[in-house]
Structure 1
Amino acid sequence: MNEIKWGIIGCGDVTEVKSGPAFNKIANSKLVAVMRRDAAKAEDYAKRHGVPKWYSNAADLINDPEVNAIYIATPPLQHEEYTIAALSAGKPVYVEKPMALDGAAALRMAEAAKNTGVKLVVAHYRRAQPLFLKIKSLLEEKAIGDVRFVTLKMLQPAASNVIANSEENWRINPAISGGGLFHDLAPHQLDLMLYYFGKALKFQGIASKKDHASPVDDLVTGQILFEKGITFSGTWCFAVPKNETADCCEIIGSKGKISFAVFGQSIKLDVDGATETIDFEPLQHVEQPMIEKVVAYFRGEDTNPCSAEVALETMKIMDSFTAS
């Protein structure tokens, strides 16, 4: 596969800036078709972004002979169906996070990739961004010594502005999203923990509703035991007052700590009483570094940047945190 010719299923708001334009900014990559159930909106997207083809039916895009790779950017409800259809057609897939509605659906997707022998990557794209690569290098260099434990707080008011805009607030419809804002934001955070600390040996959590009129849990807590005895404790609450808003992850080591916001642009390194702040420029297209890795993988030039098996572990952890 010399040039990756992409088709997007679900060319909604998330693809306007975060991902869509990046497909044409990477060597050996080109966006050739988009699909949205609303044909007029699909056409509008295509014309604004210079995409030659548009469809209102996913099967038509999947079966387009020019399209040789599929990016699935629909809400999670459709991830399993479209991923398996594309894999069955022999076309490699890059699917948005969360991988699926739940771990059972994610497992079926992973098995479909294995059975068809077609490549599947999950869009845990923070793995490829400079800020998070820097944290990984600091950990590998033992800049804070041996890691002892990790704490994370993600506290937002009900009308959070962290999530991407959408015409319909499907993220708080569990039939479409799998849950609430936890299911939209926690995949980024939990995947980074797996990326940094390896296999999760044990995990458990509690979920509840603070706003009882809400159809989804808005308070989730969870704990993970990783290899080498590293522990993680996380709290996600989407029912706090604005002045209690927080996005903070702290990695505590034997010599100091690394602090950062998963949705921020800087790292704070505290070692032996000295503090250093490392700032990063915002990325124009936040998924572009990951898409570059996906293109290289699809072309046979690199390994899978986030396999279905790895993403399945994130789904299992999320399921365990919200099972109650």
Structure 2
Amino acid sequence: MTESLNFFDKTPIRWGVIGCGSVAEKKSVPAYRMTAGFEVSMVMRRDAEKAKDYALRHRVPHWTTDAKEVIENPKIDAIYIATPPDTHRFYGLQVAAAGKPCCIEKPMAPTYQDSLSIHEAFKSKNLPLFIAYYRRSLPRFLRIRQWLDEGLIGEARCIHWQKTKQSNEMDLSGSYNWRTDKKVAPGGYFDDLASHGLDLFAYLLGDIKEAHGVASNQLGLYSAYDAVTGAWKHKNGVVGSGSWNFGAGERKDKVEIMGSEGKISFSVLDEAPILLENASGKQSLEISHPVHIQQFHVENIKRHLLDNTTHPSTGDSGLNTSWAMDKILGNL
């Protein structure tokens, strides 16, 4: 199979889902089900009772506990991998070997090297690979990109993001959470949350070409890092910095893009207004997310597979984000 402007010549495109946990409940799989021309035909989860329950509640006709039954099923056209990051490479390589398009949940993999393996496997077969960095498709952030493209803050100069949150009950109790297990997410919540922002910044300002940082486990509550500080440079010369602390006394999510003639302020993860400030004054916009937050991301997958469009979040862009994350964590 080779990728073309129209990868499929007929619909519906039948999707199989590997992993149907929390992200698949509201954020993603319902968006696949509601997209015209898509069907969710089969789901997989290792726990049979939970897999069956999910399939019944979401009206998916088939379920299994064996991923190969989904990946190698001739009646499944494309695969969505919604498992924790440590299995993305394992399942991703199987999907590439089966010759099927794939969307992988973010982050692409726990390390840049694993992400590179996935990327090369799909690239070698000219297969579409999408990464679920859905913020690239959300109207809120498309408006910010429009403001930048229109030069409403002049030339962008620098970007800074401060993201903090308190430790939660799960952190304090010692209960298992893949987001704090260094074998799954070496950067801890940084891998899960900061990846969204770094990928979004690359979309708004161009690929990240230089990056470095420091990471620490300050609280000792779990094995992964809980405090990270980083700096980076985009290909257009814009410089960036960020501080992420997951044991702070307050919750904060603030980004500022400073330009030669103004600034844009917004949140990456919180549903807060976006603010434009320049010589014309201040403009604040509230743009709500869709009920199923991956709706526009999934619709863009459909356009990529069926029409003459390119999805904003592919294996190429996801690989750049993985590289930047590993550089900030000091793994490269």
Equivalent residue, structure 2, for 1:207: 215
Equivalent residue, structure 1, for 2:143: 134
Structure 2 residue 66 is the aligned partner of structure 1 residue 60: no
1:85-104 Cα offsets, whole Å, 9 max, x none, are 01110111000000001000
Retained in 1: the 8 A contact 2:156–2:258? yes
CA positional deviation for 1:67:
0.8
Residues 111-122 of structure 1 correspond to what in structure 2 (within 5 A)? 111-122=120-131
Retained in 2: the 8 A contact 1:198–1:226? yes
TM-score, reference length from structure 2: 0.92
CA positional deviation for 1:283:
1.6
Equivalent residue, structure 2, for 1:108: 117
Retained in 1: the 8 A contact 2:185–2:224? no
- State how far apart, in whole Å, the 1-side matches of 2:69 and 2:296 are: 29
Aligned residues: 317
CA positional deviation for 1:31:
0.7
Retained in 1: the 8 A contact 2:14–2:78? yes
Equivalent residue, structure 2, for 1:164: none
Equivalent residue, structure 2, for 1:258: 264
- State how far apart, in whole Å, the 2-side matches of 1:301 and 1:16 are: 30
Which segment drifts farther, 124-133 or 200-209?
A: 200-209
- State how far apart, in whole Å, the 2-side matches of 1:28 and 1:277 are: 36
Give 1:245's aligned amino acid.
R
Structure 2 residue 24 is the aligned partner of structure 1 residue 15: yes
Structure 2 residue 107 is the aligned partner of structure 1 residue 98: yes
Equivalent residue, structure 2, for 1:280: 287
- State how far apart, in whole Å, the 2-side matches of 1:132 and 1:117 are: 29
Secondary structure of the corresponding residue to residue 187 of structure 1: helix
- State how far apart, in whole Å, the 1-side matches of 2:150 and 2:15 are: 38
Give 1:38's aligned amino acid.
D
Give 1:290's aligned amino acid.
H
Structure 2 gaps of 5+ residues are 1-7
Runs of 4+ displaced beyond 6 Å = none
CA positional deviation for 1:212:
2.8
1:213-263 Cα offsets, whole Å, 9 max, x none, are 43111111111112332110100000101xx32100000111111000111
Structure 2 residue 77 is the aligned partner of structure 1 residue 78: no
CA positional deviation for 1:304:
3.2
Secondary structure of the corresponding residue to residue 183 of structure 1: helix
CA positional deviation for 1:201:
2.6
Retained in 1: the 8 A contact 2:164–2:253? yes
CA positional deviation for 1:305:
2.5
- State how far apart, in whole Å, the 2-side matches of 1:156 and 1:44 are: 33
TM-score, reference length from structure 1: 0.94
Retained in 1: the 8 A contact 2:210–2:324? no
Structure 1 gaps of 5+ residues are 162-166
Which segment drifts farther, 296-305 or 207-216?
A: 296-305
Retained in 2: the 8 A contact 1:160–1:238? no
